[in-house]
Structure 1
Amino acid sequence: MASILTKDSVTPGTPGTPGSQWTFFGHPFGLATLFMTEMWERFSYYGMRALLPLYLVAPGGLHMSAGTATAIYSVYLSLVYLLALPGGWFADRVLGPRKTVAVAGLVIMLGHITLALPGGSGVFFAGLGLVAIGSGLLKANISTMVGHLYDGPNDPRRDGGFTIFYIGINLGAFAAPLIIGTVGEKVSWHLGFGIAALGMALGLILFLVGRRTLSPDSDVVPTPLPAAERNSLLRKSALWAAVAAVFYAIVVGTGHYTLNWLIVPITVLGLIIPVLVIARIKRDKDLDAAEQSKMSAYIWFFVAAAVFWMIYDQGGSTLSLFAESSAENSVFGWEFPVSWYQSVNPVLIMALAPVFAWFWLALNRRGKEPSTIVKFGSGLVLVGVSFFLFLLPLSIAEGGHKAAALWLVAIYFCQTVGELTLSPVGLSVTTKMAPAKYASQMMGVWFLAVTAGDATTGLLSTAGVDLNGRGVVALQAALAVVAGVAVWMYRSKVKKMMGDVN
């Protein structure tokens, strides 16, 4: 750690470093606190996520079908991103970002501890729910606190700070499957989940110890909830909770309860809520003509992103379950746990992100950088190509042979290149096209695209669709490629609606 610390790189009084001259790679030292917090939180999250579908189907786990496991995995991911929206609202109106992140860390840790406890599916799903709630609370707010460390959006260090923070995310995501996955698969599932709890505990401790290095803005509740509105919200929440409790008590008491009674409503909400949120913004009469036009253009990006994430996030479910049953998970005769595949994406991200940043800048200097629309369409085509590539190992497996591990690595490579083409662009275009009235909420709207994509996967799995079937894989691949080509073909129309946004 000492080798990455400098002194006097920023002026005294820099936001996030009250009374301190220490910096982190020339950035406010609060970035070190948030870097380590996020790294350990991602370690716990991605470690648990790598184990989740494997535990659900394992004879020593919950021994479910592959379809049910995929549905649960997809619903869980959609919930995490869906809850990011109320997570941001909770910080804005109730606790402020810093206290919300502290609460989120505690909830996530308790969730992992619950997952580590031996017990039936009820205990396991309770733990999964706690992790989803905590992740939603944290995801929306820790990035906000990174922004608080700098002197506004024009601070020249801001982009570099987020880049360093992004490295922390991928370091945690890379290490988690190697450690938690190995212990979970080879020693004990519950011990693996326990190590995830330990990772979150370390992140929470580092956050609490380093809280004084954060900006005072992170303690501020931007728009506090008035007492009357708070009481009304509590009454309504209690009423809906009571209605849900009574409904499910009746379903269970009459012997009609199955897992679908839980999965289907959540999946449907994951599809309906994104549509309602965007429709509400579009109907807002306070938006001027330019803002309305940009929101019309944004719908194109939103739908395309939902298609992208629908396929991309199956890397942790459909592909993982295929690897568990039908792949030769070895290199030069050395076998490795299936969960290790989940480390491929983060290591590729860390290796390729600087290359992409340099490449776009080099093209920009020559006046040849592709437009936002072309980059977006390329990401969709690439994720479609990854599933066309998936057809080859599927054919090998159908012939009674085990598919080589490098086939899966090649699929993850295509998806990662697609992610680097689409995801940063999507984040950027979201902030650029956001109406002024919804500037702070639009990032939550972007997360809803992930929710919609994962909810679609969950709904297909619940309906009994075999996502490892060659026809279904080919259909999804074709959908992504067609969507990418459509975005490219209508680029002039979308560009016109985007106005002054490039």
Structure 2
Amino acid sequence: MQTISAQTEQPLQAESTSHPRGLYLLFATEMWERFSYYGMRAVLVLFLTKAMMMDKAFASKFYGGYTSLIYLTPLIGGFIADRYWGNRRSILTGGVLMALGQFTLFFAASNYGPAATHGLSHQLLYLGLGFMILGNGFFKPNISSMVGSLYSATDKRKDAAYTIFYMGINLGSFIGNTITSLLGDTGHPGDFRWAFLACGIAMLLGTSIFQWGKTKYLHTPEGVQVGETPAISGGIKGVFALLPVLLAVMLGILWLDSAKFPTIAPLLGLALVAIIIMIFSDKSLSGADVQGVLVIFIVSFFVVFFWAAFEQAPASLTFFADEQMDRTLFGYELPASIFQNLNAFFVVAGAPVMALLWTALGKRGSEPPSPVKMAIGLALLALGYLVMCLGVHNLQPGVKVSMFFLVALYFFHSIGELCLSPIGLSLVNKLAPVKFASLLMAVWFLANAAANYLAGYMSSLYPDPKSTAPAPVLLGFTITSLYDFFLVFVVSASAAALILFVISRQLTKMMDARNYPAPTAQA
């Protein structure tokens, strides 16, 4: 139960056209956290291959396992927040853990080399990523769900709020990618450590901002504090004692999956089954609640196809930029990792335009429902890879591709992301029953976990011209060239977009059972 605090600012009225100040506090907190996460992610695969001396296929799968766990642990963090800690305690704990992880990676990168001769460095690599995985589990689902908590259930500003929040994510990504690419991706493996150090400092800054403003700004329009520890919760100290156990489990899973046998894929399946049983066995849910939950599960399935292709950016697309693309601009060769900035740039520039577009369409009564917006996002994803197919078709050995094609890919992918990701976050918040709000937000991230694991596997199929191994095969299709590799994503994303378009009308009817108005984004 939440209590009204005398320390809150004067509450904003529900019908106000401006957004609550708490949104901008969460914006700033998330911006610095995304600096930390995306800044590190921009150089991670290059660090693994150039400093830790992993081959591309192993580094891709290792990266996929790590990012998959990054999105899997929100299931744990969401559950603990709902039952024991509340959003605020979870966010602060997660922020501290992630900062610790970045500083651990700094020490790992300070003594780099292959595992055979630099065992301690590789152990620190696993430990640092373990802290990141566990910390993100507490941080990510809780800060996302808090955005919706600042508004009433029927407030039409939610889509716009999540779009603004999404701008914070991408602004942080842009700043983080720029700094870490310039500091770390210099051609000297020893410089990667400075990228990790910058990310650790950014994480501490974001956590401090949240701690400073949480009591003053995070409340409902009526002035009720949001995200506090549940009144009936118990076992808070027990959860703290459980953290080392959870860390050990995450490290064990990451090590087994990367070095021994697939572990994460079965874990994802078990997590999905557990969530389904937990939610649908609750007899207090109404028929409308059940239909809303079903919509969340269905659109989350299609999200897997989007992110599995989208998340090639820090893996196979970075390999492509590093080896197959002409990166010279005005006589200066750009770092391969800095091209990931294009996504953040296009999202920050495009988010206000998309918000205005949804608003204009809403006023005319022609705004598409959320499932249709998400299908458009998948179609734009396929279009981006189609451009890449044109760029590499009949590519001769030794010839490098113009950076225009990668720029065009990131443009289409970024607009597609704006059609899918903030809309999906808003949809989950609107359709989720209150008692399962954080857990169902974690379901959204479970789809991201599956997608990132699949993305790592797909990146391992990247055709390396220097490799003497047999050409990779996917479902009977032999990938002999970059054209074949990119064509796989064109086909998969196009098929997913078409199916989602076809079933969108039925999904919209199921959403209407929740008696929520059609989403309207306001600038």
Q: TM-score range by the shorter chain?
A: 0.7 to 0.9
CA distance in 2, matches of 1:462, 1:405: 23
1:66 and 2:61 matched: no
| Corresponding residue of 1:17 | 9
Q: What is the aligned counterpart of 1:80 among 67, 70, 75?
A: 70
Distance 1:95 1:328, change over 3 A: same
Q: What is the aligned counterpart of 1:370 among 368, 384, 391?
A: 368
| Corresponding residue of 1:168 | 168
Which moved further from structure 2: 89-98 or 49-58?
A: 89-98
The code of the aligned residue for 1:424 comes to: P
User: Is the CA contact 2:99–2:203 (under 8 Å) kept in the aligned structure 1?
Assistant: yes
| Corresponding residue of 2:184 | 184
| Corresponding residue of 1:344 | 342
What is the CA distance between 1:224 and its match in structure 2?
4.3
1:194 and 2:189 matched: no
Distance 1:56 1:394, change over 3 A: farther
| Corresponding residue of 1:57 | 49
| Corresponding residue of 1:259 | 258
| Corresponding residue of 2:14 | none
**Paired residue secondary structure (2:53):** coil
What is the CA distance between 1:361 and its match in structure 2?
2.0
| Corresponding residue of 1:8 | none
Q: Give 1:11-410 correspondences, 5 Å limit.
A: 16-17=8-9, 30-31=22-23, 33-58=25-50, 61-117=51-107, 118-119=110-111, 120-147=121-148, 150=150, 152-153=152-153, 162-186=162-186, 188-215=191-218, 217-218=225-226, 220-222=228-230, 224-226=232-234, 259-261=258-260, 264-278=262-276, 280-282=278-280, 284-395=282-393, 397-410=395-408
Distance 1:486 1:414, change over 3 A: same
CA distance in 1, matches of 2:249, 2:63: 26
CA distance in 2, matches of 1:376, 1:36: 26
User: Is the CA contact 1:264–1:459 (under 8 Å) kept in the aligned structure 2?
Assistant: no
CA distance in 2, matches of 1:202, 1:234: 23
Identity of aligned residues (%): 33
Distance 1:113 1:473, change over 3 A: same
The code of the aligned residue for 2:502 comes to: M
What is the CA distance between 1:47 and its match in structure 2?
0.8
User: Is the CA contact 1:87–1:138 (under 8 Å) kept in the aligned structure 2?
Assistant: yes
What is the CA distance between 1:323 and its match in structure 2?
0.8
The code of the aligned residue for 2:35 comes to: F
| Corresponding residue of 1:9 | none
User: Is the CA contact 1:396–1:403 (under 8 Å) kept in the aligned structure 2?
Assistant: no
CA distance in 1, matches of 2:217, 2:426: 25
What is the CA distance between 1:116 and its match in structure 2?
0.6
Which moved further from structure 2: 31-40 or 401-410?
A: 31-40
**Paired residue secondary structure (2:368):** coil
User: Is the CA contact 2:145–2:437 (under 8 Å) kept in the aligned structure 1?
Assistant: no
CA distance in 2, matches of 1:487, 1:203: 37
CA distance in 2, matches of 1:350, 1:359: 15
The RMSD of aligned alpha carbons is 3.6
What is the CA distance between 1:317 and its match in structure 2?
1.3
Q: What is the aligned counterpart of 1:455 among 450, 453, 456?
A: 453
CA distance in 2, matches of 1:326, 1:48: 23
| Corresponding residue of 2:484 | 471
Deviations 1:172-206 (A, max 9, x none): 11111111111101260111111111212222333
**Paired residue secondary structure (2:130):** helix
CA distance in 2, matches of 1:147, 1:290: 20
User: Is the CA contact 1:348–1:416 (under 8 Å) kept in the aligned structure 2?
Assistant: yes
Distance 1:152 1:432, change over 3 A: closer
Deviations 1:307-344 (A, max 9, x none): 11111111221111111111111234332111211211
Question: What residue ranges of structure 1 are gaps of 5+ in the alignment?
Answer: 1-12, 20-24
Distance 1:67 1:275, change over 3 A: farther
CA distance in 1, matches of 2:422, 2:257: 40
CA distance in 1, matches of 2:25, 2:290: 39
User: Is the CA contact 2:326–2:400 (under 8 Å) kept in the aligned structure 1?
Assistant: yes
Q: What is the aligned counterpart of 1:488 among 489, 501, 510?
A: 501
Deviations 1:336-365 (A, max 9, x none): 111211211111111111111111222222
What is the CA distance between 1:85 and its match in structure 2?
2.0
TM-score (norm 2): 0.79
The code of the aligned residue for 1:201 comes to: L
Deviations 1:252-275 (A, max 9, x none): 9xxxx89332x7212432344235
CA distance in 1, matches of 2:204, 2:243: 30
Distance 1:28 1:75, change over 3 A: same
Say how many residue pairs are matched.
472
CA distance in 2, matches of 1:107, 1:223: 25
Distance 1:280 1:76, change over 3 A: same
CA distance in 2, matches of 1:258, 1:293: 35
What is the CA distance between 1:134 and its match in structure 2?
1.2
The structure with higher relative contact order (CA 8 Å, sep 6+) is 2
Deviations 1:465-502 (A, max 9, x none): 69885334322321110111112223344444444365
The code of the aligned residue for 2:199 comes to: A
Deviations 1:138-194 (A, max 9, x none): 11222344555x464467877666554433322211111111111101260111111
**Paired residue secondary structure (1:475):** helix
Distance 1:425 1:39, change over 3 A: closer
CA distance in 1, matches of 2:69, 2:181: 23
User: Is the CA contact 1:271–1:452 (under 8 Å) kept in the aligned structure 2?
Assistant: no
CA distance in 2, matches of 1:203, 1:389: 37
**Paired residue secondary structure (1:451):** helix
